[in-house]
């Protein structure tokens, strides 16, 4: 794609050393314990990754930098996380919401009335949260 000279990909446990102007995180969306290693892509036990990202973000952003959090509210529709918890975590981490873009699902399961999770999937909204450090 021609981006090799413009992008550095670094493997790290949440954050590499230093600061960045933009940090993007797309954590697992369901705050529950996985039963197999492959399920770590979907399940985030006790929201550890999400909370770790929020708690460390301000310290890793350059001045005026942004953290982009891509997160579905699917867990909220399943009763696994209260709706206001995310905003409380953002505030407790010294962050502010700079903006938010939402999209509703277009995948086939959101229209499948036979799916046991149909109501939650139909109501689901995935958001791009633009976060910054509180001044």
Highest mean pLDDT pick, 21-30, 60-69, 78-87? 60-69
Domain hosting 117: range is 37-133
In a domain, 10, yes or no: no
In a domain, 17, yes or no: no
In the DSSP assignment, the letter for residue 57 is H
Give this prediction's pTM: 0.83
User: Pairing relation of β-strands 61-72 and 20-25?
Assistant: parallel
In a domain, 91, yes or no: yes
**113 pLDDT higher than 90:** no
Provide the edge-to-edge strand list for the sheet that holds 126-133.
Answer: 20-25, 61-72, 126-133, 95-103
In a domain, 18, yes or no: no
- The pLDDT, as a whole number, for residue 29 is 78
**111 pLDDT higher than 80:** no
Q: How many domains are there within the chain?
A: 1
Average pLDDT, whole number, for the chain? Answer: 90
Contact 103, 122 (CB under 8 A): no
In a domain, 126, yes or no: yes
Which regions of 1-135 does DSSP assign to beta strands (E)? 20-25, 61-72, 95-103, 126-133
């Amino acid at each position: 794609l021609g981006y090799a000279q413009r992008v550095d990909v670094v493997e790290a446990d949440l954050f590499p050393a230093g600061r960045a102007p933009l940090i993007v995180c797309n954590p697992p969306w369901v705050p529950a314990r996985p039963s197999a290693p492959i399920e770590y892509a979907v399940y985030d036990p006790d929201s550890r990754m999400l909370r770790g990202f929020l708690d460390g973000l301000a310290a890793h952003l350059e001045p005026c930098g942004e953290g982009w959090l891509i997160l579905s509210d699917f867990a909220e529709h399943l009763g696994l996380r209260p709706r206001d918890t995310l905003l409380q975590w953002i505030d407790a981490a010294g962050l502010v919401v700079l903006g938010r873009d939402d999209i509703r699902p277009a995948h086939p399961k959101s229209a499948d009335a036979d799916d046991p999770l149909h109501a939650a999937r139909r109501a689901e909204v995935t958001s791009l949260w633009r976060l910054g450090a509180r001044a």
